[in-house]
Structures are given as structure tokens and as C-alpha cells.
Structure 1
Amino acid sequence: MRADAKKNYDSIKAVAREVFLEQGADASLREVARRAGVGMGTLYRHFPSREALLEPLVRESFDALAQQAEQLKTADSPNQALVSWVQEVIGFTYRHRGILSVMMSAIEDRDSALHVSCDGLRRAGAQLLARAQTEGKASRDLSGDELFDLIAALAWLRDQPAHAPRADHLFEVVASAILIRE
């Protein structure tokens, strides 16, 4: 990649990260281009779709969450490891407004630029759940896909002003239904 093209690419990514954090995943791509000091053609040459622009931005976070799950697989308390990780993922979706619907679409669409990252995140959670189930600390009635759906539902509740006050309580209710208490 030419030096000027690399500079534009890096600038677009840096600005997009700021704009998406400020305005959510549905932020104006025109605003991203304007702040990055490039035209729309340049933006689309580097990132042909919104998902293509979101992918490098969220991949780092998804990879970090997956790595955290990997480390938690050896935690003393598999049920607490699972709860902690789920809370982290919900927090991520809350900080990145609008990313939840993008994630849920991408997990089902193998052609999505975000599919691999989202699927890696789902698999990381499924492994934590499987460990807790193997050790008798979580209900065997739940699959990794269903855990991902529950995370999405709880994250959605937290993002809704009318439901946000109840989100933590509902998280505890769901956790109590999944986890087997001593």
C-alpha cells in the first residue's frame, strides 16, 4: 500500500472509532470521511461497506474478549468465570451502541465481514459454558448459541432506557437460572 493510501486508511479507522463510539454503529459514514479529511470515494475504496469499516474496529475488542475467555477457562470458579465474561460482553455492547444488531446479523451471515469475529466470540462463550457444565456448575439445558442469544437479549435490555433500571436484576435472574449453586 502506498504511503498516502496507508495514511488515509489509518486516519479513517481512527476517526471511525471515535465517531462510532460517539454516535453508535449507525453513525454517518459521511461524517467519518469528513473528519478523516477524505472523500467518500476514498472511504469506500478502503472500506466498501459499513461492516467492512466496523470489522477492524471491533475485531480487536472481540479478540480481547475471546482471549479473556481463554484465560478464564482455567479459573478456579467456572461459574464465576462465565458470569464475569458475560458481563464483559454485555458491557462492550453497551459502550458500542448499535453494535448488537450488527453482531446478531453477522453471526448468521457467513459472508459478513464481521462473521468470523462474531463467531469467535460466540465460540469463546460456548467454551466457558461447556467448562461450567462439565464441572456441574451450569445447567446442561443451554447451548453456546443460546448463551449468545441471552447475552444479546440482556445487552438489548440494558440499552433501552425504559428497561435499563431492571437490567442488572434480570441479569441476576438469568444467571441464577443457568448456574448451579452449591
Structure 2
Amino acid sequence: MLKEARAAFDEHGIDTSLEDVARRAGVGIGTLYRHFPARDSLLEAVLRDRFDALTEHGRALLREPEERPVLLDWSRSLAEMATTYRGLTGALMGTLRDEKSDLHASCEAMRRTGAALLRREQEAGRVRADVDTAEFLALLHGAAWAGEQAFDGASDRRDKLVALVLDGLAPARSGAAAG
């Protein structure tokens, strides 16, 4: 059932019809709902591997030498994952705030990893100290969403938008205009 759900979400985004998922899986809608009582339950099952991989990727980056900037690498991975399914960016931002959501725990693990990477870059002086995790993630999801809307999710455009966001988070250079 999960394989068919992935295919449906790949094709139609997160708003795909659950009836379509059931039909693809060769089961009735009641059977689908017995296994996954809500859309978020099905999404969480489909996305858990991706979330866990992104969290682990961030943890591996945290083991890199501290002089190596790693935030852009993780940020691009987050944007890529967020644009895998149309509409996922908005759902992810919503689940970070909704502790009752089935996706909340997975998103929270990613958020903590992103926060640790952000702190590391701030402590190294590569990112402004006044940026908090919520702002950072909102900017990344905004860049991912903009890339998805304006460029059909083209990875080169999405990656450029993410790089522009991180460039904007760099501390002001001496002599640069303050904003």
C-alpha cells in the first residue's frame, strides 16, 4: 500500500485522492482507513524514511570538521525533500506547530537537527546571530515553495534560491550597508 501511496503522491502531490491510493493498492477505501485513519497517518508512513534520512544527513554533517560550512548542504537537502511532493512545504510548516499531527515527531527531529546546524554556523560566525530556527526554516521552506511554484521544482533554481537565502543570512561585512 505504501508503494502505491508514494506513486500517487509523486504524481499528484500531497492532496492526492485517498480513493486513488486505495484503488492503486487494490484495496477498498475502508481497508486504507483501517491502516491509516487520517491523511497525515499515510503521509507520515510514506515520508518517514525521507525525514529520517534528512535527520541522519544533518547529524553526519555535524560530525564534519567545524571549519567546513555545512548548512548549505543540509538546506539544499531539506528543500529537495520539501519539493518532492507538491504541497508538502505547507504541510511541513503546519506540522511543526501542530503537536497532535502524525507528522509532528518526524518534523521535530528534523527541526532539532536544523537548529543544531544553524547554531554551529552562527558560532563559527558564518550566519547572523539574530536568526532563530523558526525564521531559518521559514526562509528555507519559502525558497523551496517559490522554486516549486515558479520553476516546476527545477533543482538548479531551487538550489539557487536556497543559496540566496543563506547568503542573506551571512553577517554584514565591515563597510557593508546595514539593513
Structure 1 residue 163: Cα displacement: 9.0
Specify which of 140, 145, 148 is matched with residue 159 of structure 1.
148
Q: What RMSD, in angstroms, separates the aligned Cα atoms of the two structures?
A: 2.2
Q: Say yes or no: does 1:173 pair with 2:164.
A: yes
**4+ runs deviating over 4 angstroms:** 162-169
Equivalenced residues, count: 171
Structure 1 residue 180: Cα displacement: 4.6
Match of 1:56 in 2: 45
For residue 70 of structure 2, give the secondary structure of its aligned residue in structure 1: helix
- Rounded to whole Å, the distance in 2 between the matches of 1:60 and 1:13 is 12
- Rounded to whole Å, the distance in 2 between the matches of 1:162 and 1:15 is 27
Instruction: Note the residue ranges of structure 1 that are not aligned, 5 or more in a row.
Output: 1-11
- Rounded to whole Å, the distance in 2 between the matches of 1:46 and 1:151 is 33
CA contact 2:143–2:158 (8 Å) conserved in 1: yes
Structure 1 residue 173: Cα displacement: 2.8
CA spacing shift, 1:100–1:79, aligned 2, 3 Å:
farther
CA spacing shift, 1:30–1:127, aligned 2, 3 Å:
same
Letter in 1 for 2:141: A
Instruction: State which drifts further: 161-170 or 150-159.
Output: 161-170
Matches within 5 A, 1:74-113: 74-76=63-65, 80-113=69-102
CA contact 1:66–1:120 (8 Å) conserved in 2: yes
Measured against aligned partners, the alpha-carbon deviations of 1:38-94 in whole angstroms (never above 9, x if no partner) come to 101100011011101000111110110000000101223566310110011101112
Structure 1 residue 164: Cα displacement: 6.8
- Rounded to whole Å, the distance in 2 between the matches of 1:25 and 1:17 is 10
Match of 1:141 in 2: 130
From the two aligned structures, give the one with the greater helix fraction.
1
CA contact 2:69–2:121 (8 Å) conserved in 1: no
Match of 2:3 in 1: 14
Instruction: Note the residue ranges of structure 2 that are not aligned, 5 or more in a row.
Output: 174-179
- Rounded to whole Å, the distance in 2 between the matches of 1:42 and 1:164 is 33
- Rounded to whole Å, the distance in 2 between the matches of 1:74 and 1:181 is 27
- Rounded to whole Å, the distance in 1 between the matches of 2:112 and 2:85 is 21
Report the TM-score when normalising by structure 2. Answer: 0.87
Measured against aligned partners, the alpha-carbon deviations of 1:97-132 in whole angstroms (never above 9, x if no partner) come to 211111111111100000011111111111001111
Match of 1:124 in 2: 113
